[in-house]
Structure 1
Amino acid sequence: MHFSELENVILTQLREYKWIPIDELQEVHQRVCTIIRKKFAAKAKKTRDANKRKLAKQKEKEKQGNLFE
């Protein structure tokens, strides 16, 4: 699920609680979106770091392969 889809789902669910004042609803929405962004950023960082490690290993193997030829 993309971030914008997730955000729309949350907004829709928050709007169903009509007894919540709009100011509070916007504040809750903002906090929830901040949490989601942080989670997405953390996951993206882990993926980037893993890809960097894989690339470094691959380069090291290539380098060692060239030494033995």
Structure 2
Amino acid sequence: MAMRAEIKRAIEAASRGETQQLYWSLVVMGNLLSNALDRIDALEKVEVIDGQSEVDPCEVRALVDAQP
């Protein structure tokens, strides 16, 4: 959640005085980056058993979707 706020602050700072089109492009890119970071966080939470990661894509997707 803190990462999303930081991304939003960076987008707003980078887009000051720019066109609306550039602003919305940055917003979309920020959202994609934020979603990617959420997926990485979800993957890092998956338990590691005997050095092997037991990753079920459905479980990862559920973890990502459950985040605000």
| Length-normalised TM-score, structure 2 | 0.49
More strand by share: 2
| Length-normalised TM-score, structure 1 | 0.49
Select the structure with the greater relative contact order (CA < 8 A; seq sep ≥ 6). 2
